[in-house]
Amino acid sequence: DQQVKQNSPSLSVQEGRISILNCDYTNSMFDYFLWYKKYPAEGPTFLISISSIKDKNEDGRFTVFLNKSAKHLSLHIVPSQPGDSAVYFCAASGSGNTPLVFGKGTRLSVIA
């Protein structure tokens, strides 16, 4: 049973526009959420996180929004740049000593 779902395997966006990556979760015990970016042949790089006491966290071009009632979070990248092209993983933790649970990832392509 997938506890963290990224339903869009891929997304294409024009350079300069907004990229919105979505993530849904089913476990109501999750209370900490993270986004990782992964280039081919490299390990995932931590991008941004949000705890369940907040509904928004911003870091430069990256903003994560959390809607707890809908069990949904999204990552907004604005403006999108070609270097943002990568696979983005959503991850969640909570319920005691449970390590991170990852979604399957969304491949973002930013077209110049």
Residues that bind other proteins (CB under 8 A): 31-32, 34, 36, 41-46, 49, 51, 89, 91, 93-100, 102-105
- Identify which of residues 41 and 70 has a Cβ nearer to other proteins in the complex: 41
Residue 44 CB neighbour total at 10 angstroms: 18
- With CA atoms as reference, report the closest residue to 49 among 37, 61, 64, 39: 64
CB of 107 to other proteins, least distance (A): 9
Q: What's the CA angle centered on 47, arms 89 and 97, to 5 degrees?
A: 65
- Identify which of residues 28 and 45 has a Cβ nearer to other proteins in the complex: 45
Please tell me whether residue 42 adopts helix, strand or coil conformation. Answer: coil
CB of 23 to other proteins, least distance (A): 12
